[in-house]
Chains A and B, each alone.
Chain A
Amino acid sequence: MEKLYYEEMIENLAKYELKICGAQVYLFGHCEATLALADLLLDMGVSPVSILDNSAEKQGKDYKGIPVLSPESILKADGKKAMVLIVTRFYEAMNAQLRNLGFKGEIIKLADYNTFAEYSLSEETINRKQQRLEHGKELLNGLKTKYKGAFLVFCPHNALGDICFAMSFLPAFLKSRGYKEYAVFTPSKACADVAVIYGAEYVEVMEQKKLEATIQAVIYTQDESCFIAHHDRPYIVNLHKALYKKLIPLETVYKCGVYGLPKETKPIEPTCWEKYEKLDLIPEGKTVILSPYAKSVAPIDEQIWTDIINDYGSRGYKIYTNVVGNEKPLPRTEGLSAKLNEMRSILERAGTFIGIRSGLCDVVRYAKCKKMAIYPDYNYCDTKWKAIDMYSIDGFENIAVCEGYKWKR
């Protein structure tokens, strides 16, 4: 969960603490942010009754004893005591769904993930959104002045993999539009770093809400020198509707859906790498780099990582866990924190990379070493396609991990 939203969630939890402590608390949307909220509530001594989720596959599971149930189950709750807390970007849709079901209790948005949406047509809402749009237009005009003559590319979501896909096909897209110079705008430094690895000369990090307001201005003005390079954000992008009918791998979604490029267009490789300065500490060809953490993917069974560590450890490999921020190295491994643009040199020195399928796998896609991507058993968003169907990577051994999976040496 982004630090910005996490802090907003904590602030709002404190604001509503008295109310929450006296209520029957339900959470809506089983995702990383909701689980972070569940942890905070449990620390406060509040045990949520359940996590509501529309996905049939998630229903029946539980998180720390909190069952995942269908949203309809809320109707059994005491409307006077029940309260639903939401920390996902689908607050508006979830709020509408609960009200349509007949839920009368309080519904609280604990983080404003989605400044694009407000399901109201009141004069007050329209005025407020028009003011936000005007602010966005000012921001956009400022950027057009700053990067005069350049094509402006907006990446609305903080996800490394999305940036990789966007950047991979950007040169072909720019050529089709007759532009050479461009600037990329991302919501985080990590995403900006990825754009730089792909050769972007002008990259700027924008605070999320300002980025969204600017993107709103792009939508409204239809400025042809601007582009929103994402496969499902913001709301006006409806590419995902095709996925309810047909499997379209994410690379094709970007190439053909986002950019309208021919199917045979090849992605470019990132080339702006730097050499890790401590490469000599990494035994060449006898090291494994593990990447067990991913922002928006549920972790896999710890036993699998234990078995991987035992396997490679018994063969004399040195094992590192790639860690960022407060992440801890796995037991019997050493933590490795390097810059994104150093990762290729690290992997090629090490010889082996095993990671949960995350954006980092996209970043290191072209590293010349043995690479394995592990896919937890989940569906892509609310479609019927498995994650491995949507974004298995060429050059990797792609391993789907279902219940009962055992690591094979």
Chain B
Amino acid sequence: MKIDAKQLQQWLQEYEKIVIVDVTLLKRLSQLKLENEKVVYAQEGQSEEIVDLYRTYEFSDRVIYVSKESNYGTLYNYVKTGVLSEEEFLDSIRG
């Protein structure tokens, strides 16, 4: 796996947050408008490498990975179970 660490470092310097969005949630998150954050869509081009790296270790606390994961609890579970509305879910990601 070849990681473009320079690109990633640049994003970490430029943006307050990097939000990696699983493409299965893409439609729902089309309203996700962020300022000062870089939104990266997983499964698109270079993003796969970044997700791969994020699954290898925590290289920053300014990365949030939004998915419908099945191996651990996720914010999206709250939408599925009615604990959060979609707007509250988006708000939680925005921080």
Q: How many interface residues does chain B have, given as a range?
A: 35 or more
Q: Is the CB of A244 within 8 A of B55?
A: no
Of listed B3, B65, B66, B81, residue having the most chain A CB within 10 A: B81
Taken together as a complex, chains A and B put the C-alpha atoms of A93 and B55 apart, in Å, by 18
Identify which of A43-51, A179-187, A252-260, A282-290 touches chain B.
Answer: A252-260
B75→A241 contact, CB < 8 A:
yes
Is B47 part of the binding interface, using a Cβ–Cβ cutoff of 8 Å? no
Q: Are A236 and B92 in contact (CB under 8 A)?
A: no
Q: How distant is B75 from chain A, measured CB to nearest CB, in Å?
A: 6
Q: Least Cβ distance of B11 to chain A in Å?
A: 11
Which of B3-30 touch A at CB < 8 Å?
Answer: 3, 5, 8-9
Cα distance A96–B72 in the bound complex, in angstroms: 27
A6-14, A119-127, A346-354: which lies at the B interface?
A119-127
> Could you say which of B58, B60, B64, B93 has the most chain A C-beta atoms within 10 Å of its C-beta?
B58
Contact in complex: A220, B75 (CB < 8 Å): no
Contact A92–B80 (Cβ < 8 Å): no
**Does chain B have a CB within 8 A of A228?**
yes
Q: How far is the CA of A258 from the CA of B89 in the complex (A)?
A: 15
Among A220, A241, A258, point to the contact of B95 (Cβ < 8 A). Answer: A241
Q: Which residue from B5, B56, B77 sits with its C-beta under 8 Å from A260?
A: B77
Q: Are B83 and A263 within 8 A (Cβ)?
A: yes
A231 near B71 (CB under 8 angstroms)? no
Distance (Å) between the CB of B78 and the closest chain A CB? Answer: 6
A303 to chain B, nearest CB (A): 40
Q: Are B59 and A120 in contact (CB under 8 A)?
A: yes
Our pick among A92, A133, A219, A261 for the contact of B81 (Cβ within 8 Å) is A261
- A263/B81 in contact, CB under 8 A: yes
Chain B 29-67 interface 0/1 with A at a Cβ cutoff of 8 Å (1 = within): 000000000000000000000001111111111001110
Interfacial residues, chain A to chain B (CB-CB below 8 A): 92-93, 96, 116-123, 125-126, 129-130, 132-133, 216, 218-220, 222-224, 226-228, 230-231, 234-239, 241-242, 244-246, 248, 252-263
The 8 closest A-B CB pairs, nearest first, are: A258-B73, A256-B81, A129-B57, A235-B58, A260-B77, A117-B58, A121-B5, A228-B72
6 cross-chain CB contacts under 8 A: A236-B54, A236-B55, A236-B58, A245-B92, A248-B78, A257-B78
